[in-house]
Amino acid sequence: MNVLEELKKFREMDIPYSRVLSSMCTVSHEIAIKAHQLFINTNLGDPGIFPGTVELEKRLIEMIGELLHCKTPFGYICSGGTEANIQGIRSARNIKTKNKPNIVIPKTAHFSFEKICDILRIEVRRADVDESYKVEVGEVESLIDENTVAIVGIAGTTELGQIDPIVELSKLAEEKDIPLHIDAAFGGLVIPFMDKPYPFDFINKGVTSITIDPHKMGMATIPAGGIVFRDEKFLKSLEVETPYLTSRMQFTLTGTRPGTGVASAYAVLRALGFSGMREIVKQCLKNTKILVEEMSQLGFEPVIKPVMNVVAFRSENAEDLKSELYRRRWVISTIRNPKAMRFVIMPHVTEEVIKYFISELKEVMK
Amino acid sequence: MNVLEELKKFREMDIPYSRVLSSMCTVSHEIAIKAHQLFINTNLGDPGIFPGTVELEKRLIEMIGELLHCKTPFGYICSGGTEANIQGIRSARNIKTKNKPNIVIPKTAHFSFEKICDILRIEVRRADVDESYKVEVGEVESLIDENTVAIVGIAGTTELGQIDPIVELSKLAEEKDIPLHIDAAFGGLVIPFMDKPYPFDFINKGVTSITIDPHKMGMATIPAGGIVFRDEKFLKSLEVETPYLTSRMQFTLTGTRPGTGVASAYAVLRALGFSGMREIVKQCLKNTKILVEEMSQLGFEPVIKPVMNVVAFRSENAEDLKSELYRRRWVISTIRNPKAMRFVIMPHVTEEVIKYFISELKEVMK
pLDDT at A291: 98
pLDDT at B243: 77
Per-residue pLDDT of B143-186, as tens digits, reads 999 999 999 999 999 999 999 999 999 999 999 999 999 999 99
Q: Which among B38, B43, B149, B215 is the top mutation candidate for probing chain A, defined by the most A β-carbons within 10 Å of its own β-carbon?
A: B43
Give the domain extent around B180.
Answer: 31-269
Let me know whether A49 and A106 are in one domain: yes
Closest C-alpha to A70, from A197, A192, A202: A202
Let me know whether A75 and A165 are in one domain: yes
pLDDT at A245: 72
Let me know whether A181 and A321 are in one domain: no
User: Hey, are the CB atoms on B334 and A222 less than 8 Å from each other?
Assistant: no
pLDDT at A246: 72
Let me know whether A218 and A310 are in one domain: no
- Per-residue model confidence as pLDDT tens for chain A (366 residues): 699 999 999 999 999 999 999 999 999 999 999 999 999 999 999 999 999 999 999 999 999 999 999 999 999 999 999 999 999 999 999 999 999 999 999 999 999 999 999 999 999 999 999 999 999 999 999 999 999 999 999 999 999 999 999 999 999 999 999 999 999 999 999 999 999 999 999 999 999 999 999 999 999 999 999 999 999 999 999 999 887 777 788 999 999 999 999 999 999 999 999 999 999 999 999 999 999 999 999 999 999 999 999 999 999 999 999 999 999 999 999 999 999 999 999 999 999 999 999 999 999 998
% of chain B beyond a pLDDT of 70: 99
Spell out the SS3 assignment of chain A: CCHHHHHHHHHHHCCCHHHECCCCCCCCCHHHHHHHHHCCCCECCCHHHCHHHHHHHHHHHHHHHHHCCCCCCEEEEECCHHHHHHHHHHHHHHHHCCCCCEEEEECCCCCHHHHHHHHHCCEEEEECECCCCCECHHHHHHHCCCCEEEEEEEECCCCCCCECCHHHHHHHHHHHCCCEEEECCCHHHCHHHCCCCCCCCCCCCCEEEEECCCCCCCCCCCCCEEEEECCHHHHHCCCEECCCCCCCEECCCCCCCECHHHHHHHHHHHHHHHHHHHHHHHHHHHHHHHHHHHHHHCCCCECCCCCCCEEEEECCCHHHHHHHHHHCCCECEEEECCEEEEEECCCCCCHHHHHHHHHHHHHHHC
Q: Which among B8, B17, B79, B310 is the top mutation candidate for probing chain A, defined by the most A β-carbons within 10 Å of its own β-carbon?
A: B79
Closest C-alpha to A55, from B14, B27, B326, B332: B14
Q: Please tell me which residue of chain A has the smallest CA distance to B214.
A: A256
Q: Please tell me which residue of chain A has the smallest CA distance to B87.
A: A119
Which residue, B236, B269, B302, sits at the end of a domain? B269
Let me know whether A310 and A349 are in one domain: yes
Mean pLDDT for the stretch of residues B311-336? 97
pLDDT at B246: 73
User: Hey, are the CB atoms on B222 and A257 less than 8 Å from each other?
Assistant: yes
Per-residue pLDDT of B76-110, as tens digits, reads 999 999 999 999 999 999 999 999 999 999 999 99
User: What is the overall mean pLDDT for chain B?
Assistant: 97
Which residue, A226, A251, A269, sits at the end of a domain? A269
pLDDT at A248: 80
Let me know whether B209 and B224 are in one domain: yes
pLDDT at B228: 98
Residue A229: give its domain's CATH number: 3.40.640.10
Mean pLDDT for the stretch of residues B212-217? 98
Let me know whether A148 and A122 are in one domain: yes
Please state, in angstroms and rounded to a whole number, the distance separating the CA atoms of residues A161 and A154: 9
Let me know whether B59 and B164 are in one domain: yes
Torsion angle, alpha carbons of A294, A298, A299, A305, to 10: -20
Q: Please tell me which residue of chain B has the smallest CA distance to A157.
A: B244
Let me know whether A298 and A259 are in one domain: no
Let me know whether A233 and A309 are in one domain: no
Higher-confidence position of B24 and B243:
B24
Size of interface A-B (CB pairs under 8 A): 265
Let me know whether B262 and B291 are in one domain: no
Q: Model ipTM?
A: 0.95
Q: Name every chain A residue with its beta carbon within 8 A of the beta carbon of B242.
A: 111
Q: Please tell me which residue of chain A has the smallest CA distance to B258.
A: A222
Which residue, B269, B293, B312, sits at the end of a domain? B269
Instruction: Say how many domains are in chain A.
Output: 2
* Confidence class for position B195, pLDDT limits 50, 70, 90: very high
Give the residues across from A302 on adjacent strands: A313
Q: Name every chain B residue with its beta carbon within 8 A of the beta carbon of A94.
A: 118
pLDDT at A366: 87
Per-residue pLDDT of B277-298, as tens digits, reads 999 999 999 999 999 999 999 9
Let me know whether A73 and A123 are in one domain: yes
